[in-house]
Structure 1
Amino acid sequence: MAEATATDVAGAGVGSPAGADLPEESLGERIRRLRVDRGLTQQQIAEPRYTRAYLGAVESGTRTPSAPALAYIADRLGVPVDDLRFGRPAGAVADLTAQLAAARRALSAGGLDVAERALADIRRRADHYHLAEVSGWARYYTAEVHLHRGEASAAAQGYDQLAADLPDGAPALYAAVLARQSYCQLVDGNAPRAVAILSDGLRVLRSAPPVDPDAELRLTNALMYTFLELSWRYQARRLEREAIALLPRVTQGEWVAQFYAIAGQLRRDGELDEVERYLAEAGRRYAELGLTREIALCHWARGYVLRRAGRPGAAAAELQRAREILRTVGAVLDHAGATLELAEARRREGALDEAGRLAEEAAGTAAQCRHREAMAEADRVLGLVRAAKGDHDDARRLLSRAIERYEQAGLMGDVVVTCRHLGDLLREQGRTRDAAAVLRRGLRAGERLR
């Protein structure tokens, strides 16, 4: 898929024309311009509540209208009072919201520079027109650009700064920011903190009814995903049931698609028909929204499930497709994750050299981006490849380091799996005492799973 170009995005309505300036006029000048445009006299606007002289003083700037007076004048001019107060053109919110959606599509398609410029312009205009929520969304998607590039620290800083300055009455934005703050904690290797952010956020959201269904679904999706990462499937399935009840009331189509993509990965090996139904629905919705990266994530999710169902060949085909799209759109962290999943699928097929090359590639990206879970996963795959090739010393080193990294990140399900692999390797070498110690470590980790 080709990267979005500046021409493509401009045609979609992102940002303002080059060189366009925001209007610079006083409140009085704005009132006079609107009055003249409507062919009305000062007396027609002012009376019966105010005098022509009072309106003349307001237009000249020698008088500042009170809030009731400004509301009266706005009503007489037939414009919303905040549009008059801040100089908003008609339809400013709708226009900027449409531009945000176009920038979102450009971001997903890999047009990162174009999206970033458009978002800066949207934010500038939203700030000028005192549209705090629109400005907040522009800041949010700017942080998303950083995350897409693999700049996790810069993205986390952007989300944190926005969280400290969230506008009132924007629950969906609140939920989106919390979900991303939690994800950045996962990337940084702090799964317990990731869970706490989402659990606390849901509790706060639900404590003040009526609860916004979009915000509740976004946080529920994020917590489902985090539970899946932690191997807490029972808790994730419970959240899935709660989310299903929300779907008919949700307006954010992307978050509905996201629900289907995450829930599809919760199906068991014997539920592949249901997996396909969920992921096909997610892919269909993402396609309707024009979100390229997210379609690739559906291929990744399908490969994830197929690999765990013992079908590495079918999994590899899906994961290769995901990898190609993610490389094209420049989604650095996602590309590394799909690459690791593909490496494991190819290892299970016996393609050890290819699996090793893929894991080494992903390990480099993970280390550069400080993605701690991916670093651990790369160690595990490489350790298993080394073990299959007979390099037992290097295999033990890599698997031991993977266990340490998973444990530090709080990913106990992966600790259990990796301890089993290392224990098997040690037992094959006749090191039964060492194997028993590693397996006991895995058992202790298993006890920490909920």
Structure 2
Amino acid sequence: MTQTATGTGRAGGELVPEPLGDRIRRLRMARNLTQRELAGSRYTRAFLGAIESGTRSPSQEALAYLAGRLGLPVDDLLFGRPANVAAELAAQLSEARRSLSAGDLDAADRALADIQRRAEHYRLDDVAGWARYHRAEAQLHRGRAAQASAAYDELATDLTGPEALRAAVSARQAYCLLVGGNAPRAVALLEERLRRLRATPPVDPDAELRLTNALMYTFLELGWRHRARKLEREVDAVLGRATHQEWVAQFHAVAGQLRRDGELDEADRLLREAVRRYAELGLTREIALCHWARGYVLLRAGRPAQAGTQLRQARELLAEVGAVLDHAGATLELAEARRREGALAEAGQLAQEAARTVTDCEHRELMPEADRVRGLVRAAQGDTAEARRLLGRSIDRYERAGLTGEVVVTCRQLADILLSTGEHGAAEAVLRRGLRAGERLS
């Protein structure tokens, strides 16, 4: 029987397959052992010679015996893994993650491709899976949501474990659905994945935390704060057992955004804790997202000037690291802050800039938001016809995306404009549409 070739060598920078027998001979000789010494009392010298020559394959029992005699884990012997290669690749993966967050996308891509190739070669499936996950993250970072979505879907099909990686992929699949204008499906995916995870104990706390973070965020985007706060209470007990510190930081960031006026001190505490943890991990983009989150909270607490300070900082940092979709989102939020301050020209320019980006990237969650902000700016500038067009399109787009809460809000805003111009019939029709949406929401 001929043995499978699996390798450790390199030629021209490429990993070269090394037959198992050659590997056993190399390792034996490196330890100054004869064939008889390695075979010990359990096997004959001739048996070991046949394995080394490739004319015989060892059984699992023989392989385990020989690995033990050589002082190696079985898989390291079987797959030709160099000493400490798993730890080395994990460290490189962490460094690539930091490069990605800092916006050094080309370097991160190269490193992740190499990590994936080596991990696959050495059958380190978990490490290879994480490398593929972060390569998809790089696509999302660049604003290529469709390509990222396809990569997450492919990875989800290939994965059998670990649970934490599967949860991370599910969370990103749901985010891509949200970006693609399918909020109901995003919620359904996360709820089903979380239900299945919790139904098969012991539950991986990191996986539960990642899925819960994603569902809390999605509920927040849908305006379902009460449901998000309920999830926050449910997962609170998991925090102490979670080991994935980035996801612990993420929990604090999302929980901070759930606070409103009267809870600003608590929001600030949670977001500062998120920033502290992200800083320890060296994650630049995520720190910028915390500034955006702080601006988001302040704006909804009726403090647009303070919100603007945070949002400008977020916008600058996100531009520096090249996070295309996040930059557009923070820009839109800043446009709304400036509109509320009465800086209409600047608000319009910011919203128009964001609109171009989200249209190019087909970000169907932010496209209606861009329409809404621009419509409200036009209304304040006295261009009622354009305001009606933009707000009407915003309502249509929100409805198609399943963002029912935003439909209700935008219908009320458009109705106010129509009432101010004496168009009572049109205002009534828009309000009725908002009421129907509100009934679905409740």
TM-score by length of 1: 0.95
Give the Å deviation of 1:22: 2.3
After superposition, the C-alpha distances for 1:198-229 in whole angstroms (9 at most, x for unaligned) are 01101111121101000000000000000000
**Residue 365 of structure 2 is aligned to residue 373 of structure 1:** yes
- Name 1:349's counterpart in structure 2: 341
User: Which of the pair has the greater relative contact order for Cα pairs under 8 Å at 6+ separation?
Assistant: 1
Question: Which structure 2 residues correspond to residues 63-82 of structure 1 after superposition, within 5 A?
Answer: 63-82=56-75
- Name 1:13's counterpart in structure 2: none
**Residue 206 of structure 2 is aligned to residue 214 of structure 1:** yes
Q: Are the equivalent residues in 2 in contact too, given 1:28–1:59 (CA < 8 A)?
A: yes
Give the Å deviation of 1:18: 12
Moved over 6 A (4+): none
Q: 2:127 aligns with which of 120, 129, 134?
A: 134
- Name 1:90's counterpart in structure 2: 83
- Name 2:15's counterpart in structure 1: 22
Unaligned runs of 5+ in 2: 1-9
- Name 1:51's counterpart in structure 2: 44
Give the Å deviation of 1:20: 3.6
Q: 1:171 aligns with which of 163, 170, 174?
A: 163
After superposition, the C-alpha distances for 1:361-411 in whole angstroms (9 at most, x for unaligned) are 000000000001111001000000000000000000000000000011011
Q: 2:112 aligns with which of 82, 104, 119?
A: 119
- Name 2:7's counterpart in structure 1: none
Q: 1:278 to 1:18 in 2, by over 3 A?
A: farther
- Name 1:331's counterpart in structure 2: 323
Q: 1:18 to 1:421 in 2, by over 3 A?
A: farther
Q: 1:110 aligns with which of 103, 112, 123?
A: 103
Give the Å deviation of 1:33: 1.1
Give the Å deviation of 1:21: 3.5
In structure 2, give the amino acid aligned to 1:189. Answer: G
**Residue 136 of structure 2 is aligned to residue 143 of structure 1:** yes
Unaligned runs of 5+ in 1: 1-16
**Residue 224 of structure 2 is aligned to residue 226 of structure 1:** no
- Name 1:3's counterpart in structure 2: none
Partner Cα separation in structure 2 for residue 253 and residue 397 of structure 1: 46
SS at match of 2:263: helix
Q: 2:310 aligns with which of 312, 318, 328?
A: 318
Partner Cα separation in structure 2 for residue 131 and residue 159 of structure 1: 19
- Name 2:352's counterpart in structure 1: 360
Give the Å deviation of 1:90: 1.1
After superposition, the C-alpha distances for 1:173-202 in whole angstroms (9 at most, x for unaligned) are 100000000000000000000001101101
- Name 1:292's counterpart in structure 2: 284
Partner Cα separation in structure 2 for residue 24 and residue 240 of structure 1: 49
Question: Which structure 2 residues correspond to residues 231-246 of structure 1 after superposition, within 5 A?
Answer: 231-246=223-238
Q: 1:388 aligns with which of 364, 377, 380?
A: 380
SS at match of 1:110: coil
In structure 2, give the amino acid aligned to 1:402. Answer: S
**Residue 186 of structure 2 is aligned to residue 189 of structure 1:** no
Q: 1:19 to 1:244 in 2, by over 3 A?
A: farther
Identity, % of aligned pairs? 70
Q: 1:18 to 1:102 in 2, by over 3 A?
A: farther
SS at match of 1:273: helix
Give the Å deviation of 1:19: 5.9
- Name 2:5's counterpart in structure 1: none
In structure 1, give the amino acid aligned to 2:221. Answer: E
Q: Are the equivalent residues in 2 in contact too, given 1:337–1:362 (CA < 8 A)?
A: yes
- Name 1:281's counterpart in structure 2: 273
In structure 2, give the amino acid aligned to 1:171. Answer: E
SS at match of 1:372: coil
Give the Å deviation of 1:43: 1.1
SS at match of 1:22: strand
In structure 1, give the amino acid aligned to 2:257. Answer: Q
Q: Are the equivalent residues in 2 in contact too, given 1:231–1:449 (CA < 8 A)?
A: no
TM-score by length of 2: 0.97
Partner Cα separation in structure 2 for residue 23 and residue 79 of structure 1: 21
Q: 1:100 aligns with which of 88, 93, 96?
A: 93
Q: Are the equivalent residues in 2 in contact too, given 1:232–1:449 (CA < 8 A)?
A: no
- Name 2:296's counterpart in structure 1: 304
What is the aligned residue count?
A: 433
In structure 2, give the amino acid aligned to 1:105. Answer: R
- Name 2:4's counterpart in structure 1: none
- Name 1:421's counterpart in structure 2: 413
SS at match of 1:63: coil
